[in-house]
Amino acid sequence: MEEALERAILVSLDLGYWDVESALAELEELARTAGAEVVGTLVQKRENPDRATCIGSGKLEELKLLAETLEAELIIFDTELTPSQLRNLEKVVDTRVIDRTMLILDIFAGRANSAEGKLQVELAQLRYSLPRLTGKGTELSRLGGGIGTRGPGESKLESDKRHIHRRISALANELQELTARRGRLRARRRKEGVTTVAIVGYTNAGKSTLLNRLTGAGVLAEDKLFATLDPTSRALTLGDGQKVLLIDTVGLIRRLPHHLIEAFRSTLEEAASASLIVHLCDASSPELDEHIRVTNDLLDSLGAGLTPRLCVLNKADIATLQWDLPLPADTVHISALTGDGLDELLQAISDKLPPTRRLARLLLPYADGSIAAALRRDGIVQTEKYTEDGLYLEVVADSALLEIARAYEI
């Protein structure tokens, strides 16, 4: 059953750092995704947020009145609120108050499906809400449901501080184990020569649509933000017959809450360490340049600076804007919806992939054991025979690595 939409008012401070209009439009999308109906907005221009209440006292009175008039059930601030600002605001307005981070966390909570996704979201939520609980920590339970209070683990976010501390360390331990397992899996893939291609990009760029289009994966794709939380991967065969693993990832957004980046670090790092990153963008968005910048910045901060990247502009079917962005020369234009440009995309992926692995048959002299040792360590030895003429090896390894044994190939 669909939950009734919560009537929400959006509040934004115009500090001059970013474009308030587009920030509010995005906040409205987020609110809509979380199940709210935006009934009003309030903007205040200020040099700095008020320490106690974020907006000034006059504006706060205005907000209180607006909330009463519009019968709002929820007020959403575009900036992060400190624990005391949150408390002070709720005292005055008598309506539930959340901030952008709590909103995003709430959406993630509703979206997490896999055990790992749920764990990551709950951890981020608890870490964010812990300092925002007062006294014995009854504030959250008093809220009794609604946007900002949903959690993936328990039916409702826990409200007992001691319990939360215990739960945080239990979750952190579990996550560490999952991260280690992910690392081992990644190492095995690398050893087995599996080539991975990660689709990375701003939320709603069409990543899942592209994965579905190329592989028939059947991943949920919809016109909401953060439709995908759990990385899905599917085999894809390129034009030249090469098989790669295509990975769909969680969408990015500007000012992504710090706790979420931390919790999703292993997932994001997996994408960042792919053989190739397909950076997918929504070419129909007026904010294209900002989206590209946010994605590039996050990838760089994840250590993906050296991973080859292919810039792909999606939604060519509805893109009408003319950009004068400095896009890379090999940028590909596609429509994941209509299928336009997908052949070019597959070709571009082939071209951009770093040199691949191949099978080599070698006869190595016994005198030089170091080559065999290197191949055993970084390649996959399929056959190994001791013959009169030397060590016979059939090995799959990186072309670059095989160079050391070039003279012994048969």
Should residue 251 be labelled a site residue for ligand GTP when binding is judged by CB under 6 A? yes
Should residue 88 be labelled a site residue for ligand GTP when binding is judged by CB under 6 A? no
| C-alpha count within 13 angstroms, C-beta hemisphere, residue 28 | 12
Nearest-approach distance from CB 227 to Mg ion, in angstroms: 4
Name which of 96 and 315 has its Cβ closer to ligand GTP: 315
Which one of the spans 138-146, 178-186, 200-208, 232-240 is the region binding ligand GTP (CB under 6 A)? 200-208
Nearest-approach distance from CB 208 to Mg ion, in angstroms: 3
Should residue 249 be labelled a site residue for Mg ion when binding is judged by CB under 5 A? no
Per-residue x/- track, 187-226, Mg ion (CB under 5 A): --------------------xx------------------
Return the residue of 207, 259, 291, 357 that touches ligand GTP, per CB under 6 A.
Answer: 207
Should residue 233 be labelled a site residue for ligand GTP when binding is judged by CB under 6 A? no
Is residue 255 packed enough to be buried (19+ CB in 10 Å), middle (13-18) or exposed (0-12)? middle
Should residue 227 be labelled a site residue for Mg ion when binding is judged by CB under 5 A? yes
Please give the size of the binding site for ligand GTP, defined by CB under 6 A: 22
Nearest-approach distance from CB 232 to Mg ion, in angstroms: 9
Name which of 137 and 341 has its Cβ closer to ligand GTP: 341
What is the chain's Cα-based Rg?
26
Per-residue x/- track, 257-296, ligand GTP (CB under 6 A): ----------------------------------------
Name which of 152 and 206 has its Cβ closer to ligand GTP: 206
Which tokens belong to 194?
Answer: 């599996």
Identify what 226 binds: ligand GTP, Mg ion, none; CB under 5 to 8 Å per kind: ligand GTP
Cα-Cα-Cα-Cα dihedral sign, residues 394, 399, 403, 404: negative
Should residue 221 be labelled a site residue for ligand GTP when binding is judged by CB under 6 A? yes
For residue 235, how many other CB atoms are within 10 A of its CB? 11
Residues 299, 282 contacting (CB under 8 angstroms) = no
Identify what 85 binds: ligand GTP, Mg ion, none; CB under 5 to 8 Å per kind: none
Should residue 203 be labelled a site residue for ligand GTP when binding is judged by CB under 6 A? yes
Residue nearest to ligand GTP as judged by C-beta position: 251
Return the residue of 222, 262, 378, 403 that touches ligand GTP, per CB under 6 A.
Answer: 222
Nearest-approach distance from CB 159 to Mg ion, in angstroms: 32
Q: Which residues bind ligand GTP (CB under 6 A)?
A: 203-209, 221-223, 225-228, 251, 314-315, 317-318, 335-337
